[in-house]
């Protein structure tokens, strides 16, 4: 344990500091990494760019934080019975309702289709970087 780490207790044996645990809880609640970081850490001397970078580093470079976020997401999904099939069904009903109106609501239908595409991963842009 380094001098820097002294006095930092880990959260529930997960290898997280109390601030990291708070960040994880807030990130799941708010869905905004920068705002979660602001509320979990002292950011009084940081500008928005630094906060965004620090939050991104926590999300992408800290394996313990990543594991904890996955645990929290699973628990959240189970508590609210959220599944991809459930969400796809809701979007399908919205699409059908939008199209069955006397005056079809095309933008609502398109939004429902795009929501389905995002859930299924079809919205990802693939760029071929190989030269020909």
Q: Is residue 35 part of a domain?
A: yes
Confirm whether pTM is higher than 0.75. no
Domain limits at 58?
18-79
Determine the pLDDT at residue 131.
64
The residue length of the chain stands at 132
Under 8 Å CB-to-CB from 88, ≥6 apart: which residues? 116, 119, 120
Give dist(CA 3, CA 5) in Å, integer.
5
Determine the pLDDT at residue 132.
61
When divided into structural domains, the chain yields a total of 2
The per-residue pLDDT for range 28-39, each reduced to its tens digit, is: 888 899 999 999
| Average pLDDT along the chain, 132 residues, taken 10 residues at a time | 42 77 91 94 95 92 90 76 80 92 91 87 72 62
Determine the pLDDT at residue 119.
80
Q: Is residue 26 part of a domain?
A: yes
Q: Indicate whether 32 and 73 sit together in one domain.
A: yes
Q: Indicate whether 71 and 100 sit together in one domain.
A: no
The per-residue pLDDT for range 123-132, each reduced to its tens digit, is: 777 666 676 6
Map residue 44 onto helix, strand or coil: coil
Give dist(CA 14, CA 59) in Å, integer.
15
Q: Is residue 128 part of a domain?
A: no
Alpha helices of 1-132 — where are they, by DSSP H? 18-30, 33-40, 48-61, 63-79, 84-100, 106-120
């Amino acid at each position: 344990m380094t001098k820097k780490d002294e006095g930092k207790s880990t959260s529930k044996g997960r290898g997280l500091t109390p601030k990291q645990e708070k960040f994880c809880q807030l990130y799941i609640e708010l869905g905004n990494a920068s705002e979660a970081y602001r509320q979990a850490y002292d950011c009084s001397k940081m500008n928005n760019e630094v906060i965004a970078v620090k939050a991104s580093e926590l999300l992408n470079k800290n394996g313990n934080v990543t594991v904890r976020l996955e645990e929290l997401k699973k628990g959240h999904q189970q508590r609210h019975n959220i599944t991809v099939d459930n969400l796809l069904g809701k979007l399908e009903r919205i699409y059908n309702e939008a199209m069955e109106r006397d005056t079809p609501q095309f933008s609502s239908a398109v939004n429902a289709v795009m929501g389905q595409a995002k859930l299924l991963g079809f919205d990802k842009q693939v760029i071929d970087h190989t030269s020909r």
